Amino acid sequence: MRPTRLEKPAATRSNLKTIASLLPYLWEFKVRVVLALCLLILAKIANVSVPLVLKEIVDALDQTRAELVLPVFLLLCYGVLRLCSTLFGELRDAIFAKVTQRAIRRVANKVFTHLHSLSLRFHLERQTGGVSRDIERGTRGISFLLNFMLFNILPTLLEIGLVLAILISKYDIWFAIIIASTLLAYIALTLIVTEWRMIFRRTMNNMDSKANTQAIDSLLNYETVKYFGNESWEARRYDEHLQSWEKAAIRNQTSLATLNAAQSAIIAVGVTLLMLLAADQVIDGHMTLGDLVLINAFMLQLYMPLHFLGFVYREIKHSLADMERMFTLLEENKEIQDKSEAQILDAKNAAIHFDHVNFSYEPNRQILFDVSFDIPAGQNIAVVGHSGSGKSTLARLLFRFYDVQSGCILINNQDIRDVTQQSLRTAMGIVPQDTVLFNDSIYYNIAYGRPEATADEVHAAAKSAHIHDFIETLPEKYETIVGERGLKLSGGEKQRVAIARTILKNPVILIFDEATSALDSNSEKRIQAELKRIAKNRTTLTIAHRLSTIVDADQILVMDQGRIIERGTHQQLLAINGQYARMWELQRQEAIHQNVQQNLTIS
């Protein structure tokens, strides 16, 4: 399978660049961030003060030094400091919650909006399941990164600094040396092994995205899978990705167990050396029992966040790996962009002019060759031709899903590349050949043409598309859910919903791309009359396969291999006796044959 753009290695994006991408979202709430950091510092000062007060309590209770007196003030201070270390931390989390959740919301929405701004070329190549999973993991990674990098790594480093400063100022330098050596060994081991383990995480992410892509693609094409009886084939393909994911996950877990064991060994050695040194100095009389408790409390107090620091660092690296792919989507360049000086399209009495248009999807495969024609305001121009002749490409270019390689497309003498895409597409409505609906209600899908429309306007559009009566027969009527891509409706029903949606939009320019291709003959005649009514006084481009639907067009263009080979009215083209006349005769013979078959069946 040909790789898509999304499969390029995400590791090429630096971690610093990923972190820097989040800074604007933090700066939006700078007061909250500063306040949260102040609470963080207060919480750590309270936490470090607890062992100091505990030392004083132990020394005060040491009967070998003085008569036993209950140190009430010290005990109260001990309790208050314990409370403050927790309370300040909880307040910090509450204040910072809005910053985290707003950042997640803004980034997710920015990625979503950016994906919609990318060209049709990107979306034809994308893997929907993989993109969905990348965004899901990336937003989850933002939450972890912001919370744990700011509130675990920074406070742990602050606490380590405070502890070392206290030990250096009050005790033998060897205590600080042992703790510093233990911490450096622990951090070095964590950094080195975690970097080595990241390859397993990236492999897991890649395989997870591929498996999800394949699963969603398979489920979306459920009927095709059933038609060909390929359930086991799909399951095997899915399992191949899961096998690769399983291998990477096993390596990830076993390497994690090895890392945890090595980290525990380093801490155990450090604690043992500290206690041996402290016990020796207590026996020699250089330290009190309170000092011994203080040193032990400091080490245990550092051990938990330090052990957690290893976990946090690993998870931050994982989060950065998760976020890499999501932020890579934001770096995907927009192929079609508005110019800085783009104008609003003046679509009133729209006249369209294709001027010597050449276009190709790929450099070595040209689709349109020197195409020129006019659609005068209020007229209907039809385009016919064999499959692959370039008919539907005209509609894509008119909507500016792509830009032409040479020539131009003008609407009221405005080059569509010089106007905003929003104003261009607002002026146009299309009934496509392949109608895809949202997995929502029929009402939602019709109202999508103009979301602010009233219920009466939606119902009127449905009546114009001859689908209102059908909807009223359904148990849930307009609230009926149409299913994924509208699969609960027949092809003709989906087509009517698409027609109703376009009628509701009430555009100045209409495009019918095989608009009645999914309808039976009787329905087609009724819908065709309605389409003629709504197209009246509107500039219309009709792309047709059935020539009987466009005999009343103001002009008909016949395309073949990307070129216009004939043009004229229906009668003029029949008189030429060329390609159009042959197509007309062929379809007429097919219609006669079908009528004969129907009569035989009835008799």
84 with 25, same domain?
A: yes
pLDDT higher than threshold 80 for residue 58:
no
pLDDT higher than threshold 60 for residue 312:
yes
pLDDT higher than threshold 60 for residue 5:
no
Give the residue from 506, 524, 547 where a domain finishes.
506
In terms of pLDDT, which residue wins out, 431 or 17? 431
Lowest-confidence range among 32-41, 471-480, 510-519? 510-519
pLDDT at 28: 75
Q: What is the largest CA-CA distance in the chain?
A: 125
Pairing of β 555-560 and β 563-568: antiparallel
pLDDT at 518: 55
> Region 383-395: what's the mean pLDDT?
85
Q: Is residue 12, in this structure, part of any structural domain at all?
A: no
| Of 152-161, 224-233, 272-281, 590-599, highest mean pLDDT | 272-281
Which amino acid type is present at position 405? Q
How many angstroms separate the CA atoms of 23 and 485, rounded? 39
pLDDT higher than threshold 80 for residue 123:
no
User: What is the chain's alpha carbon radius of gyration, rounded to the nearest angstrom?
Assistant: 36
pLDDT at 188: 84
pLDDT higher than threshold 60 for residue 348:
yes
CA dist list (Å): 318 to 312, 323, 327, 389: 10, 9, 14, 49
pLDDT higher than threshold 70 for residue 368:
yes
Closest CA relative to residue 6, chosen from 164, 117, 115: 115
* Residue 204 burial (10 A CB sphere; 0-12, 13-18, 19+): buried
462 with 574, same domain?
A: no
pLDDT at 53: 81
pLDDT at 6: 40
* Residue 319 burial (10 A CB sphere; 0-12, 13-18, 19+): buried
Question: Residue 22 gets which letter from DSSP?
Answer: T
> Region 360-364: what's the mean pLDDT?
82
525 with 498, same domain?
A: no
Residue span of the structural domain in which 418 resides: 346-427+508-603
Q: Tell me if residue 55 falls in helix, strand or coil.
A: helix
Q: Is residue 8, in this structure, part of any structural domain at all?
A: no
pLDDT bracket for residue 29 (50, 70, 90) = confident
Pairing of β 509-513 and β 539-543: parallel
Domain CATH for 350? 3.40.50.300
449 with 593, same domain?
A: no
Mean pLDDT score across all residues of the chain: 79
Quick check: 447 and 503 in contact, CB under 8 A?
no
390 with 256, same domain?
A: no
Pairing of β 428-431 and β 509-513: parallel
Q: Is residue 339, in this structure, part of any structural domain at all?
A: no
How many angstroms separate the CA atoms of 106 and 497, rounded? 33
192 with 131, same domain?
A: yes
In terms of pLDDT, which residue wins out, 359 or 591? 359
Q: Tell me if residue 285 falls in helix, strand or coil.
A: coil
Give the residue from 506, 532, 561 where a domain finishes.
506
| Of 199-203, 230-234, 561-565, highest mean pLDDT | 561-565
Q: Is residue 530, in this structure, part of any structural domain at all?
A: yes
pLDDT higher than threshold 60 for residue 4:
no
123 with 256, same domain?
A: yes
Q: How remote is the C-alpha of 32 from its chain's centroid?
A: 28
Q: Is residue 103, in this structure, part of any structural domain at all?
A: yes
Structurally, the chain folds into a number of domains equal to 3
Q: Per-residue pLDDT tens for 62-119?
A: 655 545 556 778 788 878 888 887 888 788 878 887 887 787 777 777 777 777 767 6
> Region 14-32: what's the mean pLDDT?
72
How many angstroms separate the CA atoms of 83 and 391, rounded? 74
pLDDT at 591: 66
Quick check: 532 and 464 in contact, CB under 8 A?
no
In terms of pLDDT, which residue wins out, 373 or 69? 373
In the chain, pLDDT over 70 holds for what percent of residues? 83
pLDDT higher than threshold 50 for residue 60:
yes
How many angstroms separate the CA atoms of 476 and 478, rounded? 6
pLDDT bracket for residue 556 (50, 70, 90) = very high
Whether pTM exceeds 0.85 = no
How many angstroms separate the CA atoms of 141 and 369, rounded? 49
Q: Is residue 4, in this structure, part of any structural domain at all?
A: no
Lowest-confidence range among 73-77, 133-137, 254-258, 599-603? 599-603
Q: What phi, psi does 369 have (nearest 5°)?
A: -125, 110
Quick check: 352 and 374 in contact, CB under 8 A?
yes
pLDDT at 410: 92
pLDDT at 555: 92
534 with 554, same domain?
A: yes
Give the residue from 451, 471, 506 where a domain finishes.
506
Angle (nearest 5°) at CA 572 between 570 and 573: 65
Domain CATH for 109? 1.20.1560.10
pLDDT higher than threshold 50 for residue 1:
no
Q: Which two tokens mark 158? A: 């602050």
pLDDT at 11: 41
DSSP H helices, 440-578, are: 442-447, 455-464, 468-473, 491-505, 521-535, 570-576
> Region 457-473: what's the mean pLDDT?
89
Q: Is residue 2, in this structure, part of any structural domain at all?
A: no
296 with 207, same domain?
A: yes
Q: Is residue 59, in this structure, part of any structural domain at all?
A: yes
pLDDT at 456: 92
Q: Report the b/e string of 492-510 with b at 16+ CB within 10 A.
A: bbbbbbbbbbbbbbebbbb
pLDDT higher than threshold 50 for residue 21:
yes
pLDDT at 557: 92
211 with 89, same domain?
A: yes
442 with 415, same domain?
A: no
Angle (nearest 5°) at CA 402 between 397 and 406: 80
| Of 23-37, 139-153, 307-321, 499-513, highest mean pLDDT | 499-513
Q: Which two tokens mark 81? A: 């400091």
How many angstroms separate the CA atoms of 401 and 558, rounded? 23
How many angstroms separate the CA atoms of 132 and 136, rounded? 6
The structure tokens 């931390």 sit at: 89
pLDDT bracket for residue 8 (50, 70, 90) = very low
In terms of pLDDT, which residue wins out, 581 or 52? 581
Q: Report the b/e string of 97-116 with b at 16+ CB within 10 A.
A: eebbeebbeebbeebeeebe
Q: Tell me if residue 374 falls in helix, strand or coil.
A: strand
307 with 362, same domain?
A: no
